[in-house]
Structure 1
Amino acid sequence: MLQELSIRNFAIIDKISISFSEGLTVLTGETGAGKSIIIDAVHLLVGGRGSAEFVRHGEKKAEIEGLFFIHDEHSCIKKASEYGIDVEEGMVVLRREISNTGKSVCRVNGKLVTIATMREIGSSLIDIHGQHEHQELMNDALHVLLLDQYGKKEIVPARERYTNVYEKYLEVQNKIKELSKTEQQMAHRLDLLQFQMREIEKANLKMNEDDLLEEERKRLVNFEKLFGSLKDGYEQLQGDQRGLDSIGRAMSMLETAAEVDSKYQSIKESVSNSYYMLEDAVLTIRTELDMLEYDPMRLNEIESRLNEINQLKRKYGYTVEQILDYYEKIKEETESILNKESRLEELQKQLDKLKKQLMDIGNHLTKIRKKWANKLTNAIHRELKELYMDKTVFEVTFNEQLPSGNGLDNIQFYISTNPGEPLKPLSKVASGGELSRIMLALKTIFSTRVTSVIFDEVDTGVSGRVAQAMAEKMYKISVNSQVLCISHLPQVAAMADHHMLIAKEIIHKRTRTTIKNLTEKEKIKEIGRMISGTEITDITKRHAKELLQSAYTIKKP
């Protein structure tokens, strides 16, 4: 949920901090007070398009910051981790700054991100729905994903099985496409591959050869330094009156002490062990010194070989291992070209087998989807009935298509709002009042997909019992998802768990927007204003109290 929202120097807002809570929060106020400006700010916070016009006149930049709290399984966490963003204690902080030159700076949990990244993360936190902004519900291409989300427990595993086979199908299909190029293209490709194979074969590379040669080269280049260090170390340990001589004398003295008093036995043993270990080290150093030999011819050979390997690395990989892997890959491709006909036949058999599997699994996926489509259709009809649209017909249509990443189905939501009228794509429905109710019904079903849902005057064009039904529906959505709503309907305001009044005032000849949490008494006054306009009478107050009392009754568990 959106916990805190801070806005500075944005449009007519100089500085506002708002604390939100769970449930249904309704924002009301006179026309022009700045209600939609707050929604505009949230829209920018989650990756909306910004411009210098949003910056308050006379200021250098506008700043918007939002704090969200999410549960441990929220999809936002996975998206954030893909961009290296840590989410600790379920907290996500989005921040956006827009300068008066139009440039934007976006941050998620303090990390700089692109607007596209902020939009991707923000879309999982907030769904903003306005009169003309229908987002994914109005995008036909996303209807299949919405259906899959609705029946995810059964659909998602079936879709994953389909996707696994589909990826193999595409892989074989691409191999066939490559082998089916023109003879001239294939001849040129074969010449290139054979040239590369000969070049790598001629080098006779061995695994990790470059690392071993670099170590040997380092020893030869630093021969004098290495020889001198070993020689000096040997002399310090083995020379007269040094190293081992001194430790040997100490060992003899401690043996005498241990014979007198046994408590010195452990010290004597420690010194003795050290002596024999150092003696072994001295012998090893002596052997290494005898074996060390500077060979300038060998250094030249190494330099030449490393140069040859580096030339191959520039063409075929960053390591010898990658070069050898590349060799195996082009060897396989060469054999495929040389045995093109038999290879094509083999691949075609693989493709036919995979296509049969794909169709079987895809048809099973379609069957499951149709079962859940019926459940979704019934659920939407129930929601629409509660919004006094019981004559409306909703349908999930299935049209066959060639295998794609989502299956064999082209799925679209169709609807008819009047008896006798044909079903039309949901995206073509244009009536304002009807569209608001249809979208609200769909939001009720799909609202659990995001942390917060914002409704920006979606109740325009409705009144009376429909307005009351929409108010109850928004409250129903707020049980599973935090809902923020800008409304002109007193019925919606009465259903609010939290009612905020947005107003504007002039201070020092500058207009600024203010926001206030209303008390119970102030709620009655504001709802009364929404009922009657500017003049608030005893009758409108009584009507406002009745609306609030009715809302309390509806909300009782």
Structure 2
Amino acid sequence: MLIELSIRHFAIIDELTVQFEKGLTVLTGETGAGKSIIIDAIGLLLGGRGSAEYVRHGEKRAEIEGLFIVEDDHPIIEKAIEFGIDAQDSMFILRRNITSQGKSICRVNGKLVTLAILREIGQALVDIHGQHEHQALMQPEEHISMLDGYASKALTDTFKEYQMLFNRAQQLQKQVLSLSENEQELAQKTDLFQYQLEEIEQAKLVPEEDVHLMNERHKLAHSEKLFSLLQDSYLSLYGEGRGLDFINNAVSHLEEAVSIDQELKDVFESVSNSYYLLEEAAFALRDRVEQIEFDPNRLEFIEGRLHDIQRLKRKYGETVDDILVYASKVEEELDSIINKDDRISKLQNELDGLWQDLYIEAKALTSIRKEAARELTEAIHEQLRSLYMEKTVFDVRVAERAPSKYAPMIKGKTIPFSQDGIDTVEFYLSTNPGEPMKPLSKVASGGEISRIMLAIKSIFSNQQGVTSVIFDEVDTGVSGRVAQAIAEKIHAISIGSQVLCITHLPQVAAMADSHLYIQKNEENERVKTSVKSLSTEEKINEIARMISGVEVTELTREHAKELLELAESLKQPA
């Protein structure tokens, strides 16, 4: 659950810290006080899209931080460990800063993370349901993801296998289409590849040849200086009156000294060994001096060779090895084009086999979805009955999608494969007896959409494993006994997980376990948002205000007390 939320310099919020409790917490207040801004801040903390516009005017950055506690066996703990995030005590501190330039800095438990990681962890902790989900419900293309979310446990393994096969089939299909290009394009490619391959082959390149040639060029260009240095070094060591002659004299004297003082033996051996090592080095220098060549023709050849290699590098790669790798690829491409018919035949046979396997997995997906659709339909009907939509008929229809241009044929039938299978899913609705079923997007009113989404959320909340659910004005377009039913439904969800709810309905506010009042004040000609946890008496006044809309009277206060008493009785276990 979300324990504490801290917000600084965000929109009209200067600085705000809010503590949350278990169960149902409602946020109420006048329109424009900042209720939805608090939810927006939570959304950004969970990885939502940021913008410099969120930063309070005159400030350098907006800062949002939230403390979450999860169960010891929550799957997000294992996921956090994979990301290298410390998850001790089952505690998560999410932090996000947004600068006035629009840049985001994200941290989880003090570790810098990408926005994608923050989003993956955040979505496992909190489920925010607002007006955008109403819109998603009105978009048929979103319905398949909702059904798949409901069937996720049964669907996971089959869906993974399907996507693996589908991606491989897409790759093969691209190769087949590429090889089946028109003859003119293939002829042009063949000419180009043949010219490139011939140019590289004529150069007779050797791996790392450029490196060896540059080293040799450097030596040849400085051969005279190298000869002089080595010759002087050799003459300094070897010859009468030279370095080795003096060291040999020292060896002879030390040898006689050892016969007098045995403690000098180590010194004698050290000097003696040095003499022989230096003598070997002198002979090596002599041999190297004799090997040095002054060959201007060789230097000229190397310069020409490096020039030719550099010309090839500009076309085919940064190194000789890169050029040789490119030549190998060109050779393969040429072979594919020259033998394209055989290549196409082999690829097509492999692709046909993949289509067959993919179709088996696609039908398995369809079967799982149809069973899940039946179960989801029954579950939604049960939820709708408790929301005074008992005469509403809801249906989740799974059908085969229309085939695309390049859809394959299997046993004489065109199969419309896509990234998520061969199915389309759409919700249908009939709100009154005798009326035909029609697409939900064309017949549902705002109040009906709110109740249907709440029904879906009631079903999903037990499956998703999130620690908190946030409802942002899901009670739009309802009143009376329907409002009471929605209030009871939201509270029922809060029994299994923490629920935060922005509401304008007194019935929902009355069911709250804790009530936060959001208000804005003007200080120093700037607007500030503040949050206050209401006492019982203050709850009565606020609910009375929500009932009357204008002036709180003793009658509306009595009505508010009745709502709270009713709520308390409804919350008692049966």
Whether these two folds match at TM > 0.5 is: yes
Residues 427-455 of structure 1: per-residue CA shift (max 9 Å, x gap): 44541221111111222344437665432
Matched, 1:424 2:438: yes
Change (3 A) 1:548 1:374: closer
Corresponding position of 1:535? 553
Matched, 1:514 2:512: no
Q: CA deviation at 1:225?
A: 7.4
Aligned mates of 1:473, 1:298 — CA distance in 2: 91
Aligned mates of 1:21, 1:236 — CA distance in 2: 89
- What fraction of aligned residue pairs are identical, expressed as a percent? 46
Q: How does 1:135-146 map to 2 (within 5 A)?
A: 136-146=136-146
Corresponding position of 1:435? 449
Aligned mates of 1:386, 1:456 — CA distance in 2: 21
8 Å contact kept, 1:148–1:156:
no
Q: CA deviation at 1:515?
A: 1.2
8 Å contact kept, 1:381–1:393:
yes
Aligned mates of 1:16, 1:516 — CA distance in 2: 11
Query: What count of residue pairs does the alignment treat as equivalent?
Result: 539
- Secondary structure of 2:207's aligned partner: coil
8 Å contact kept, 1:395–1:414:
yes
Q: CA deviation at 1:501?
A: 0.8
Q: CA deviation at 1:216?
A: 3.9
Q: CA deviation at 1:314?
A: 2.8
Q: CA deviation at 1:193?
A: 1.6
Q: CA deviation at 1:400?
A: 1.9
Corresponding position of 1:106? 104
- Secondary structure of 1:370's aligned partner: helix
Q: How does 1:151-550 map to 2 (within 5 A)?
A: 151-220=151-220, 240=243, 259=262, 288=288, 290-293=290-293, 295-401=295-401, 402-447=416-461, 448=464, 453-478=469-494, 482-508=498-524, 511-531=527-547, 534-535=552-553, 539-540=558-559, 542-543=561-562, 545-547=564-566, 549-550=568-569
Q: CA deviation at 1:28?
A: 1.0
Change (3 A) 1:119 1:127: same
Amino acid at match of 2:129: H
Change (3 A) 1:183 1:284: same
Amino acid at match of 2:553: E
Q: CA deviation at 1:148?
A: 3.2
**Structure 1 residues without counterparts, runs of 5 or longer:** none
Which of 55, 80, 98 is the matching residue for 1:96?
98
- Secondary structure of 2:65's aligned partner: strand
- Secondary structure of 2:205's aligned partner: coil
8 Å contact kept, 1:107–1:118:
no
- Secondary structure of 2:422's aligned partner: strand
8 Å contact kept, 2:55–2:98:
no
**Structure 2 residues without counterparts, runs of 5 or longer:** 402-415
Aligned mates of 1:107, 1:430 — CA distance in 2: 41
Residues 418-477 of structure 1: per-residue CA shift (max 9 Å, x gap): 333333334445412211111112223444376654322111333454334423433444
Amino acid at match of 2:366: T
Corresponding position of 2:65? 67
Change (3 A) 1:312 1:176: same
Q: CA deviation at 1:27?
A: 0.7
Change (3 A) 1:244 1:24: farther
Change (3 A) 1:105 1:338: closer
- Secondary structure of 1:60's aligned partner: coil
Aligned mates of 1:248, 1:137 — CA distance in 2: 99
8 Å contact kept, 2:386–2:485:
yes
Aligned mates of 2:333, 2:426 — CA distance in 1: 43
Aligned mates of 1:162, 1:284 — CA distance in 2: 69
Change (3 A) 1:226 1:75: farther
Q: Which of structures 1 and 2 has the bigger CA Rg?
A: 2
8 Å contact kept, 1:106–1:114:
no
Change (3 A) 1:171 1:199: same
Change (3 A) 1:457 1:417: same
Corresponding position of 2:36? 36
CA RMSD between the two structures: 4.6
Aligned mates of 1:423, 1:246 — CA distance in 2: 115
Amino acid at match of 2:58: K
TM-score (norm 2): 0.76
Residues 85-122 of structure 1: per-residue CA shift (max 9 Å, x gap): x8565443222245xxxx63433339999999998997
8 Å contact kept, 2:34–2:529:
yes
Change (3 A) 1:522 1:410: same
Corresponding position of 2:413? none
Corresponding position of 2:404? none
Aligned mates of 1:274, 1:473 — CA distance in 2: 94
Change (3 A) 1:349 1:193: same
Q: CA deviation at 1:277?
A: 7.2
8 Å contact kept, 1:63–1:97:
yes
Change (3 A) 1:158 1:529: same
Aligned mates of 1:318, 1:135 — CA distance in 2: 53
